[in-house]
Amino acid sequence: MTHDLVATLRPLLTAEASAEAHASGTEPGDLEQAVWLRLLERLDTDGPPVDPQGWLRRAVRSEVRRTRRTTRLERPYEVEPVADLDQAPEQLALTAARHRALRDAVRRLPGRCPRLMEALLSPNDLTYREIAGELGISQGSLGPERSRCLGCLRRLLTPEVAVGEARG
């Protein structure tokens, strides 16, 4: 019985989903799948619909409304900030040069400072405990060590940073 119902409704569902899907901003296959799931849920609870074709049309429109509501309420989650597409090529080149200068200065730092600064600047966002374990030093000495390394980095970068105009 269920197989006959599915075979009978398949062409109608394909046509209805194709007609409604594009206006709602969804894929026809996704809409079809949602309606098939609704039919299975109905078969489990109430049995087959009395008017299968009418039920199917109503179910398609109901799923389209639900999809529109969901789309209106959902907001995309951005994993990384999107680069500003309006930035001029000169600005991009200057930013890349500043990043290169910073990386070069970090490599010239004395002692453990290069490894510490790389760990602090890591995109993995390591905790102090992880950094201390990686460097083989106590977690309590990371703060003073970081301050010393930042002071060295400041002194290395001072000649490379342009002097700003006087304010006021």
Q: What is the mean pLDDT of each run of 10 residues along the chain (168 residues)?
A: 82 90 82 91 89 92 87 66 66 86 87 88 84 86 90 82 54
Q: Is residue 123 part of a domain?
A: yes
* Res 53: pLDDT: 93
Kindly state the helix (H) or strand (E) to which residue 151 belongs, with its residue range. Answer: helix 142-157
**Of 57, 72, 87, which closes a domain?**
72
CA angle 101, 103, 109 (to 5 degrees): 100
Specify the pTM: 0.44
* 3 state DSSP class of 100: helix
CATH of the domain at 109: 1.10.10
Q: Is residue 45 part of a domain?
A: yes
Residue ranges in 46-141 assigned as alpha helix (H): 52-73, 89-107, 113-120, 128-135
- Residue 25 domain flag: yes
Residue 79 belongs to some domain of the structure: no
Structure tokens at 88: 């001029």
DSSP assignment, residue 127? -
* pLDDT at site 112: 86
Kindly state whether residues 107 and 60 are assigned to the same domain.
no
For residue 58, the model assigns a pLDDT of 93
Query: Does residue 77 sit within a domain?
Result: no
Same domain, 68 and 100: no
- Is 166 contained in some domain? no
pLDDT at 164: 54
Closest to 149 measured CA to CA, from 119, 129, 125? 119
Tell me the two tokens of residue 27: 């894929």
67 and 100 belong to one structural domain: no
Q: Give domain status of residue 125, yes or no.
A: yes
145 and 112 within one domain: yes
**Backbone angle region of 111, left / alpha / beta, with phi > 0 → left and psi within -120 to 50 → alpha:** left
Residue 137 lies in domain = 96-160
Please give the pLDDT value at position 89: 83
Domain total in the chain: 2
Residues 62 and 14 reside in one and the same domain: yes
Are residues 111 and 55 both part of a single domain? no
120 found inside a domain: yes
Asked if 31 contacts 67 with a C-beta cutoff of 8 angstroms, the reply is yes
